[in-house]
Amino acid sequence: MTGTAFIADLVLTGGTVVTSKSRFKADVAMKDGLIALVGKPSAMPAAKEVVDVSGKFILPGAIDVHVHFREPGYTHKEDWRTGSAAAAMGGTTTVFEMPNTHPPTRSVTELRQKQQAAEKSHVDYGIYGLLAEDNIGELQGLIDGGVNAFKCFMGNTFGNLPSPSTGAMLEGFEIIAPSGLRISLHAETASIMAWRQKRLMEAGRNDPLAHIAARPAIVASEAVSRAAELAEWTGARVHVLHISSAAELRPLADAKARGVEITGETCPCYLLLDSRDYARLGSVIRVNPPVRENSDSVAIWQALQSGVVDMIATDHAPHTPAEKSKAVIWDADCGFPGVETQMPLMLNQVAAGRITLEHYVKISAENPARAFGLWPAKGRIEAGAHADIAVVDMERTETIEASRLQSRGKVTPFDGVAVTGVPVHTLVRGRFVQRDRQIVTETSGWGRQVTDIQRMPPAQVRNADQTLAAVLQGPAPVTAGATA
């Protein structure tokens, strides 16, 4: 003993800590929900509990900025208890939850409903507010009321929330920009998709591949370009959700090069599946945006390595088997659960040598924490940070079984896939929420909204004199003596 003055709540001993840059053998002591000490076993304080994690890796828990937990309104698909249990099982310690519930999270009243539903969560969470045409007047209230980010559906998807016109989007960006909060974009252009789907349906195309035909990559690249222009004009911070194509990487990279505050995510399905899987999976693979060509996956992998794509998220989108399995592709609900399978699927890629464990920490924890203002409280294994941890066994092999998912949505294109690399414990603020591949059921309700730790730096607002709010005041008064 070194005479350390406190008694830790928990010490993880014998493991290897992984950061975005390195890995090293160290023990981790936790107290009052925080990491108190990372260091040699001889430096550890006495602890109420010591857990041996020899041979395992200690990662910051994944931060998934894109999940749909469906409550209120669609609890036959998922609710906050089952969705957050899926997160805990998957080594994910913080989620940001989307507003396409019923009712959608459009106003402070609906935010309060969402917050109440979220009280059951096993893991910490951010809550998205909606940016739509019919709630422009509610945006400031949502900011003041404590949303953690905004979501703008440029294209339709589950919930069929109408996409705002570019005019309404611009006004929304103007209102949100000064708050510094990030606006996440479902970047698919609705009018192109509606037109093509109608024409395909008229022509009798009902097969799974017709889904890609209705949403070619131009749908995504046009939307990313347009959103980046609006972000550049207003200074709003934006985030491109579920990057699915090589085509949208160019406007994303260009915008970054111009200094636009833009980040991007992809999801495991766009890295690990492609058009050749449609025949096998049928309507199960239907997701918005669609899984595309192998050449798209290859380009997205490269962008994930180079940093053009900042992070991995899941678009966890559970539906029932009946809603997913349809003979006519247009009738099948889009999306599938992902928050539980992301880490095993990506660790399996680590095991295969496709990405390092360090880079995985960067894209799953550090980068999302930085982009959404949770850094330095979350996303790192260092003294002072939240003790949000995934203990990973890189030798353990498991087979993903849809029927055994914690999620209520028991349909996944990854059913039957064997993976090497599994989170065997998940801790949220020092407490086990998953232990030895079992959910600690009594931790439902332990999760907290991240508002108190979220710090978004002030945004560089641009063209403030030309916002709708400014010009609606009328022309600036002419100062005396200004006339010739």
Note the residues at the interface with ligand DOR (CB under 6 A).
68, 100, 157-158, 186, 287-288, 315, 317, 334-335
CB nearer ligand DOR, residue 333 or residue 415 = 333
Quote the CA–CA distance of 267 and 346 in Å, as a whole number: 10
Contacted by 93, from ligand DOR, Zn ion, none: CB < 5 to 8 Å by type: none
Quote the CA–CA distance of 421 and 414 in Å, as a whole number: 15
| DSSP code at position 216 | -
Residue pair 197/214 in contact by the 8 Å Cβ criterion: yes
50, 384, 391, 444 from 35: Cα distances, Å = 14, 6, 14, 22
Quote the CA–CA distance of 280 and 209 in Å, as a whole number: 12
Handedness of CA 427, 433, 96, 119 (dihedral sign): negative
| DSSP code at position 456 | P
Q: How far is the CB of 51 from ligand DOR (least distance, A)?
A: 37
CB nearer ligand DOR, residue 186 or residue 380 = 186
Q: Coil, helix or strand for 428?
A: strand
Quote the CA–CA distance of 217 and 78 in Å, as a whole number: 30
Q: How far is the CB of 292 from Zn ion (least distance, A)?
A: 17
Contacted by 158, from ligand DOR, Zn ion, none: CB < 5 to 8 Å by type: ligand DOR
Burial class of residue 326, CB neighbours in 10 A (0-12, 13-18, 19+): middle
Q: Which two tokens stand for residue 258?
A: 């111009």
Contacted by 74, from ligand DOR, Zn ion, none: CB < 5 to 8 Å by type: none
For strands 57-60 and 16-18, give the pairing. Answer: parallel
Closest chain position to Zn ion (CB)? 315
Q: Which two tokens stand for residue 390?
A: 């995934």
Q: How far is the CB of 311 from ligand DOR (least distance, A)?
A: 16
Backbone phi and psi for residue 211, each to the nearest 5 degrees, phi listed first: -65, -40
Q: How far is the CB of 100 from ligand DOR (least distance, A)?
A: 5
Quote the CA–CA distance of 9 and 385 in Å, as a whole number: 15
Contacted by 77, from ligand DOR, Zn ion, none: CB < 5 to 8 Å by type: none
CB nearer ligand DOR, residue 265 or residue 366 = 265
Which residues sit at the interface with Zn ion, rule CB under 5 A? 315
Residue pair 188/288 in contact by the 8 Å Cβ criterion: yes
CB nearer ligand DOR, residue 236 or residue 285 = 285
Q: How far is the CB of 68 from ligand DOR (least distance, A)?
A: 4
CB nearer ligand DOR, residue 186 or residue 429 = 186
Contacted by 155, from ligand DOR, Zn ion, none: CB < 5 to 8 Å by type: none
Quote the CA–CA distance of 127 and 150 in Å, as a whole number: 8
Contacted by 100, from Zn ion, ligand DOR, none: CB < 5 to 8 Å by type: ligand DOR
Residue pair 30/353 in contact by the 8 Å Cβ criterion: no
CB nearer ligand DOR, residue 121 or residue 244 = 244
56, 285, 432 from 446: Cα distances, Å = 25, 33, 10
Quote the CA–CA distance of 388 and 428 in Å, as a whole number: 4
Quote the CA–CA distance of 447 and 171 in Å, as a whole number: 34
CB nearer Zn ion, residue 292 or residue 425 = 292
Q: How far is the CB of 158 from Zn ion (least distance, A)?
A: 8
Q: How far is the CB of 287 from ligand DOR (least distance, A)?
A: 4
On the question of a cis peptide bond just before residue 103, with omega within 30 degrees of 0, the verdict is: yes
CB nearer ligand DOR, residue 317 or residue 357 = 317
Closest chain position to ligand DOR (CB)? 335
Contacted by 287, from Zn ion, ligand DOR, none: CB < 5 to 8 Å by type: ligand DOR
CB nearer ligand DOR, residue 9 or residue 315 = 315
Residue pair 398/386 in contact by the 8 Å Cβ criterion: no
Q: How far is the CB of 253 from ligand DOR (least distance, A)?
A: 23
CB nearer ligand DOR, residue 158 or residue 375 = 158
Q: How far is the CB of 108 from Zn ion (least distance, A)?
A: 23
Q: How far is the CB of 186 from ligand DOR (least distance, A)?
A: 5
